[in-house]
Amino acid sequence: MDGIKRRAPLFSLSSILIDHPQIMYSCLGAIKNSGKEDKEKCIMRNGKNLLENLISSFNGKRKPILSFSAEELKIATNNYDLQRVKTQGFVYQLYNAFLHGRPVSVMKFQNNDKYDAYEWCLKNIVFASQMSHSNILMLIGCCLETQIPVLVFESVSSGILANYIHGPRPSHFEPFLLTHRLKIAMEIANALAYLHVGFPRPIVFKNIKLSSILFDEDHVAKLFDFSLAESIPDGETHIKDAIPIGIMGFVATEYVTTGDYNEKCDVFSFGVLLLVLLTGQKLYSIDEAGDRHWLLNRVKKHIECNTFDEIVDPVIREELCIQSSEKDKQVQAFVELAVKCVSESAEDRPTMIDVAKQLRQAYRFGW
């Protein structure tokens, strides 16, 4: 925690909030009903109840997260200056901030008519506090003085993947070469594999998108935003949503049609991410008649016609002209892996462990 003032931890979260959902929703209700109370009462009630429940079940294996005041975070973000917004989701904005001499990221939630920011905030606390992986954005602390807690993460000073692909690009931007894209794919695959196999119950991310992949000052890719994440219950093979939610174009067909979601749905979304990395194109284009043409369908058509090179990102095509033999093999294998990941049949998709292994091999040794 270099640069962050040492203080007593707010609490040390672990899997208990997932294993004991009544605790999470008790806290959720307390936060929701705090609008008419002053700050001190909100802190006393929410913090006391949360701390008591966590201490009673604490297994000693999770790292503590720190407590910050609302005023500290207001100053750190220059009163939540919109010029400091790094990325945003359905119910939050992530700000570049400077807290006690250290750059950090501040995640501030806001309710809207469609989504419950309270629940999504708690999901981010529950899941992010359990993570110990170099490719998952680290949670540092939070503030309970506000109706919806405000979260503090490590800094992501080098931008988001969406900017690298679609712009506006970060300053001092270098050509986005195939090696860079392989590295990002490998790092995010490692993070997803960790979620799927690194816990007693698999965690499905459910939220793979360009704005959920951020970069630290060393350009290490970081997976971010657990708003939709779920743990698959013991004895079950999937979770079921009455109303599927996600970014169209990234979500698997079986999830849209049945509401069933498991690890292979994350694999599908990751396959789409690979195709975006390879082509540099958006999930869909709109023709003059207003019809949408999805990237996945266009990719399949080009593969059938043996013309995939026509939609490969021009930066990669230029590389192919210089290092044709080696890069051609890499691109071909990259495409083949992506196609396996987006197979219509979930059974035909590889696991994220297998995907991560193949990408590590590709990045380190070539295909």
List pLDDT tens digits, range 180-229. Answer: 999 999 999 999 999 999 999 999 999 999 999 999 999 999 999 999 99
**How high is the pLDDT of residue 1?**
53
> C-alpha 314: how far from its chain's center?
27
Q: How many residues does the chain have?
A: 367
* β partners of residue 204: 230
3-state secondary structure 161-175: HHHHHHCCCCCCCCC
First-to-last CA distance in the chain?
Answer: 39
Q: What is the rounded distance in angstroms from the CA atom of residue 196 to the CA atom of residue 352?
A: 8
What is the three-class DSSP state of 208?
coil
CATH numeric code, 161-365: 1.10.510.10
For residue 70, the model assigns a pLDDT of: 94
Q: Does domain 9-154 have CATH number 2.30.30.760?
A: no
Lowest mean pLDDT among 102-111, 184-193, 302-311: 302-311
Helix axes 178-197, 314-322, angle to 10 degrees: 120
pLDDT for 122: 85
Could you give the percent of the chain with pLDDT greater than 70? Answer: 80
Does 97 have pLDDT greater than 90?
Answer: yes
The model's pTM:
0.86
Cis bond before residue 168 (omega within 30° of 0): yes
**Residue partners of 351: CB distance under 8 A and separation at least 6:** 193, 196, 263, 267
More confident residue, 189 or 6: 189
How far is it, in rounded angstroms, from Cα 219 to Cα 225?
18
Mean pLDDT over 50-79 rounds to 70
Would 9-154 and 161-365 be classified into the same CATH topology? no
pLDDT one-digit tens code per residue, 13-27? 444 444 444 445 444
Q: Tokens 């540099």 map to which residue?
A: 280
Rounded mean pLDDT of 57-77? 77
| Tokens 């506000």 belong to residue | 146
pLDDT for res 260:
97
Mean pLDDT of the chain: 84
Q: Which of 33-47, 77-91, 312-326 has the lowest average pLDDT?
A: 33-47
Q: Domain limits of the chain?
A: 9-154, 161-365
* pLDDT band with cut points at 50, 70 and 90 for residue 52: very low
